[in-house]
């Protein structure tokens, strides 16, 4: 029997097993999944016995598509994987191509890339913060988060020409130079952000209901985090050092002053605090760089047609959700022979069943929020 038919039979109305357990579908269309994720959850009353994710509803075979696109083109498809950190995805791919071709990226381009990365990270965390609060039933933070995110989007729009899928990075540097207003706009954003950041704590972090909903639930030990391959803020909430910017610095991250945010709580609240504090670290990086953008080329001289030498290339970067790995196998042609993305969302989702068992259905939603799942990133 097809698995889907089986699920349909299990989840049809009125079927409650002999043990009193029953199965419900959360998704593919459900307010809590923020996309087309399908979870089949087995419940006993309000208590979760099992969570079974079903993927593939938004699978677009991006990896296969990349095999028929050349090394300049395939980067732009990856914007559609994790659309909230599209810029960082592009960055990872460009790094991999540059590694293969051994292109030296000019310092100006490196700084621009990092600035954009960190702005993307802040924007992504802002959206996560709003959606997280919405999962817990508070609607207002979503709009407050969008107020700050909007000014980042405007900065992106001016320089890159797009607000969400920026497509701003090309092998060798960036597509075009910064907009003349860029520095002024970023400084304005920094000012706005610092004026508004206390609202985040007052509205959500310090709220007693919120803290009670988050503390002590969704426990993920450091050992489990490592064995499930959890990365990014979700792992750092369990005190697992996993920031690629620190472990294996790319571009000029090793010259910048910032801290890897680690929390020891291991619960949902720790994962929440990691992201909140990480935003401040990103702001710190932007502050260091915004007045020190070196003059020079924004792109290295590259050949019109890029051909990677025969071999295998792997790079990894830290996206807003965790470690994104890009693995290219080249046969020496103009298109990759095989591409594989190691997306953070996929491994982070795999831990959901482990942390959700035994908790209430309301907690499941909160835990999914703290894992910060972006479904197109999981399915690709």
Question: Which residue lies nearer to other proteins by CB, 318 or 372?
Answer: 372
Q: Indicate whether 113 belongs to the interface with other proteins (CB under 8 A).
A: no
The C-alpha angle 195, 197, 200, rounded to 5 degrees, equals 140
Q: Are 84 and 91 in contact (CB under 8 A)?
A: no
Told to check if 13 binds other proteins by CB under 8 A, we report yes
Q: Which residues, numbered 331-360, are part of the site for other proteins (CB under 8 A)?
A: 360
Q: Work out the number of other CB atoms within 10 angstroms of the CB of residue 206.
A: 11
Annotate each residue in 44-63 with x if it binds other proteins (CB under 8 A) or - if it does not, as one string: --x-----------------
Q: How far does Cα 105 stand from its chain's mean position?
A: 25
| 41: enclosing H helix or E strand | strand 38-44
Determine if 135 is a binding residue for other proteins (CB under 8 A).
yes
Burial 74-98 (b: 16+ CB within 10 A, else e): bbbbbbbbbebbbbbbbbbbbbbbb
Distances (CA, A) of 230 to 14, 129, 271, 289: 37, 20, 12, 30
Q: Between 7 and 329, whose beta carbon lies closer to other proteins?
A: 7
**Chain centroid to CA 275:** 11
Tell me how many residues contact other proteins (CB under 8 A).
Answer: 33
Q: Does 290 bind other proteins (CB under 8 A)?
A: no
Which one of residues 136, 290, 300, 329 is an interface residue with other proteins (CB under 8 A)?
Answer: 136
CB atoms within 10 A of CB 35: 17
Choose which of 71, 210, 250, 298 interacts with other proteins (CB under 8 A).
210
Least spacing, CB of residue 270 vs other proteins, in Å: 18
Q: Which is nearer to other proteins, 143 or 314 (CB)?
A: 143
Task: Using the rule CB under 8 A, give the single segment among 22-30, 52-60, 89-97, 321-329 that binds other proteins.
Answer: 22-30
Site residues (vs other proteins, CB under 8 A): 13-14, 22, 24, 30-32, 46, 133-140, 142-144, 147, 203-204, 207, 209-210, 212-213, 360-365
């Amino acid at each position: 029997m097809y698995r889907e038919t089986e699920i349909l039979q299990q989840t049809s109305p009125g079927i409650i097993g002999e043990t009193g357990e029953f199965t419900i579908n959360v998704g593919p269309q459900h307010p809590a999944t923020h996309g087309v994720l399908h979870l089949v959850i087995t419940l006993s009353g309000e208590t979760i016995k099992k969570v079974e994710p079903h993927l593939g509803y938004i699978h677009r075979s991006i990896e296969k598509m990349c095999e028929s696109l050349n090394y300049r083109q395939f980067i732009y498809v990856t914007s559609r994987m994790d659309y909230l950190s599209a810029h960082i995805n592009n960055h990872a791919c460009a790094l991999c191509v540059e590694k293969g071709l051994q292109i030296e990226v000019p310092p100006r381009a490196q700084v621009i890339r990092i600035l954009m990365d960190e702005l993307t990270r802040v924007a992504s965390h802002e959206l996560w913060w709003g959606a997280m609060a919405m999962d817990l039933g508070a609607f207002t933070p979503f709009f407050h988060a969008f107020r700050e995110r909007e000014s980042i989007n405007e900065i992106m729009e001016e320089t890159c020409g797009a607000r969400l899928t920026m497509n701003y990075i090309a092998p060798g540097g960036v597509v075009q130079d910064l907009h003349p207003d860029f520095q002024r706009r970023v400084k304005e954003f920094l000012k706005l952000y610092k004026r508004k950041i206390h609202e985040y704590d007052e509205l959500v972090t310090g709220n007693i209901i919120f803290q009670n909903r988050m503390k002590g639930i969704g426990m993920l030990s450091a050992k489990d985090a490592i064995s499930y391959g959890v990365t990014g803020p979700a792992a750092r909430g369990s005190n697992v050092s996993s920031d690629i910017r620190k472990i294996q610095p790319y571009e000029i991250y090793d010259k910048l002053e910032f801290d890897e945010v680690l929390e020891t709580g291991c619960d949902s609240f720790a994962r929440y605090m990691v992201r909140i504090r990480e935003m401040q670290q990103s702001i710190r990086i932007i502050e260091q760089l915004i007045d020190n953008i070196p003059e020079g080329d924004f792109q290295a001289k590259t050949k019109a047609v890029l051909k990677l030498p025969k071999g295998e290339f792997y790079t990894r970067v830290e996206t807003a959700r965790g470690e994104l790995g890009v693995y290219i196998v080249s046969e020496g042609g103009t298109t990759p022979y095989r591409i594989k993305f190691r997306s953070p969302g996929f491994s982070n989702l795999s831990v959901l069943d482990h942390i959700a068992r035994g908790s209430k259905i309301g907690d499941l939603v909160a835990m999914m929020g703290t894992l910060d799942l972006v479904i197109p990133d999981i399915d690709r």
